[in-house]
């Protein structure tokens, strides 16, 4: 059992190389069959309690080390405050454990239906994909490094997100990797061919779906990446130098909308009309400005995005709805805020979350503004299924340095573009800023730790995608169908 546990942990650790920035997809087709064989050798013909107990050890170990190495970039954020040094390791080792705990209910699939080989394959795929849904939605959720994110290695294959979203895509991906298990038997050849055909069929779908970019005439945007280090943002706070940096990058001809990143300025713009006037005078004439900024109202601070017109009027304010736990607010505040250690970590104030997700009517169209990691939650992009023209993602990934985090954050934004069929304008303080088309392709980007701007016509959105209409209902439909198949197969056995 110990050797099987070590094998599972080893497989989970190596699976992270299927994600950005590496994209070694072939690892998935090696690791999941090996995981299947490892689990099967220890739980087949076992009664249900012992089967679940062994799954917790083997599958839990696999997921723990996948999360441990996949989320390791997070600890970079704690290096900017000495008092957080201890909490860095609590997060590094504790967050993966919490994610595993969230996925435990999904272990019931293989616990109850580990019968014949095809049932085992379906139950493992259902377990892992439903587990991803659970850990992305329980409490505040953390929808990062979903298995299917590895499909972004190919522009045609990644179009499947427009139908399935990320969870059903994970189900199909994991199922497809099991084809090799059916080799060597004429009886099982049919199953092998079916599973083997999943990825090629997805490729063909994407090949015929994808099209050349079309742009909206007369709607020009500018995406700004000032590349201000986190040390400078925390300790230097030179307002004039920061404004000069941003405005210098924002002087372009005939721009309709200029986008600055999250927390772009160390000042409350809403209370400083003179600063707004100075900014508007020094950027493109006639351009609106969407800028990330802290706002203060009703004795509460909020992480916000301000839309300012060319007359220096604030036309709209979007307040971030999905806050980062312990970074922007304390969960279960009435209880946890009494713990001295938690107060040191989170401070005494924190942010108040926004009340609702509303589209922002900009000069280039109706936009969903997603601040920082709000972009990782697919169900929160357009929850009321309104007529959406574009998504604007502003973020400050300077916290995460040269790690894999900024690359994975960019990839998640690309998936949201595919799911909704709209372009994404992404402004990141130190990178990676990008102009992303409705097919998830990066038209232009500014590399990590580079300073610059992207100027372009706005890419046209495409017709509504299936996923943008029905969301994850298709995923749950497939899970229910899988359950029916598993029940029928179990009764036959």
The residues that are catalytic are: 262, 320, 372
Do residues 366 and 216 lie in contact, with contact meaning Cβ atoms separated by under 8 Å?
no
Q: Pairing between strand 300-308 and 314-319?
A: antiparallel
Contacts (Cβ under 8 Å, ≥6 apart) of 25 = 18, 150, 151, 153
Dihedrals φ, ψ of 455, to 5°?
-120, 130
Helix (H, G, I), strand (E, B) or coil at 2: helix
CA distances from 347 to 85, 263, 327, 333, 471 (A): 15, 18, 9, 12, 37
d(Cα 258, Cα 291) in Å, to the nearest integer?
Answer: 8
Concatenating the DSSP letter of every residue in 262-320 gives TT-SSS-GGG-HHHHHHHHHTS-TT-EEEEEEEEEETTEEEEEEEEE-TTS-EEEEEE-
Q: With CA atoms as reference, report the closest residue to 117 among 37, 51, 59, 47.
A: 37
Q: Which residues pair with 392 in a beta bridge?
A: 369, 425
Element (H, E) at 199: helix 198-209
Q: Which of 220, 216, 292, 224 is nearest to 454 (CA)?
A: 224
Instruction: Report the 10 Å Cβ neighbour count for 26.
Output: 11
Give the contacts of 11 (CB within 8 A, at least 6 positions apart): 31, 34, 35, 38, 62
139: left (phi over 0), alpha (psi -120 to 50) or beta: left
Non-local CB neighbours of 71 within 8 Å, separated by 6+ positions = 92, 95, 96, 142, 144, 145
The CA R_g of the chain, rounded to the nearest whole Å, is: 24
Burial grade of 72 (CB within 10 A; 0-12, 13-18, 19 or more): middle
Question: What are the C-alpha distances in Å from 247 to residues 189, 289, 377, 419, 425?
Answer: 63, 11, 32, 33, 18
Q: By 3-state DSSP, what share of the chain in percent is helix, strand and coil, each rounded to 5? A: 55, 15, 30
């Amino acid at each position: 059992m110990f050797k099987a546990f070590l094998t599972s942990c080893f497989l989970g650790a190596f699976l992270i190389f299927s994600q950005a920035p590496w994209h070694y997809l072939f690892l998935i087709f090696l690791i999941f069959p090996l995981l299947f064989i490892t689990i099967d050798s220890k739980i087949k013909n076992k009664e249900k309690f012992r089967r679940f107990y062994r799954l917790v050890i083997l599958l839990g170990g696999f997921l723990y080390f996948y999360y441990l190495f996949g989320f390791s970039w997070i600890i970079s954020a704690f290096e900017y405050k000495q008092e957080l040094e201890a909490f860095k390791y609590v997060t590094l080792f504790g967050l993966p454990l919490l994610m595993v705990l969230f996925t435990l209910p999904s272990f019931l699939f293989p616990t109850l239906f580990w019968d014949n080989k095809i049932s085992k394959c379906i139950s493992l795929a259902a377990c892992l994909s439903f587990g991803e849904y659970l850990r992305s939605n329980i409490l505040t959720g953390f929808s990062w490094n979903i298995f299917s994110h590895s499909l972004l290695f190919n522009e045609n294959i990644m179009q499947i997100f427009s139908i399935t979203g990320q969870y059903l895509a994970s189900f199909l991906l994991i199922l497809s990797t099991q084809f090799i298990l059916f080799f060597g038997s004429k009886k099982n050849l049919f199953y092998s061919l079916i599973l083997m055909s999943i990825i090629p069929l997805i490729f063909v779908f994407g090949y015929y779906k994808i099209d050349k970019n079309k742009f909206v005439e007369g709607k020009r945007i500018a995406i700004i990446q000032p590349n201000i280090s986190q040390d400078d943002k925390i300790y230097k706070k030179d307002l004039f130098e920061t404004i000069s940096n941003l405005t210098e990058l924002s002087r372009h001809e005939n721009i309709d909308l200029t986008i600055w990143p999250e927390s772009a300025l160390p000042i409350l713009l809403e209370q400083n009309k003179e600063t707004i006037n100075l900014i508007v005078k020094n950027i493109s004439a006639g351009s609106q400005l969407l800028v990330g900024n802290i706002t203060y109202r009703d004795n509460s601070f909020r992480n916000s995005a301000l839309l300012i017109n060319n007359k220096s009027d604030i036309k709209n304010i979007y307040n971030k709805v999905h806050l980062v736990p312990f970074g922007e607010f304390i969960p279960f505040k009435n209880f946890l805020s009494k713990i001295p250690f938690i107060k040191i970590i989170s401070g005494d104030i924190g942010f108040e979350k926004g009340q609702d997700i509303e589209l922002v009517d900009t000069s280039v169209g109706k936009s969903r503004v997603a601040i920082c990691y709000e972009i990782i939650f697919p169900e929160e992009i357009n929850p009321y299924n309104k007529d959406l023209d574009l998504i604007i993602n502003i973020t400050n990934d300077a916290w995460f340095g040269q790690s894999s985090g900024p690359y994975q954050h960019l990839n998640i934004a690309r998936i949201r573009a595919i799911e909704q069929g709209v372009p994404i304008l992404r402004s990141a303080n130190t990178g990676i800023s990008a102009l992303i088309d409705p097919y998830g392709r990066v038209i232009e980007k500014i590399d990590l730790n580079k300073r610059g701007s992207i100027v372009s016509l706005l890419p046209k959105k495409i017709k509504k995608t299936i996923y943008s209409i029905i969301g994850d209902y298709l995923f749950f439909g497939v899970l229910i169908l899988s359950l029916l198949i598993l029940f029928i197969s179990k009764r036959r056995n």
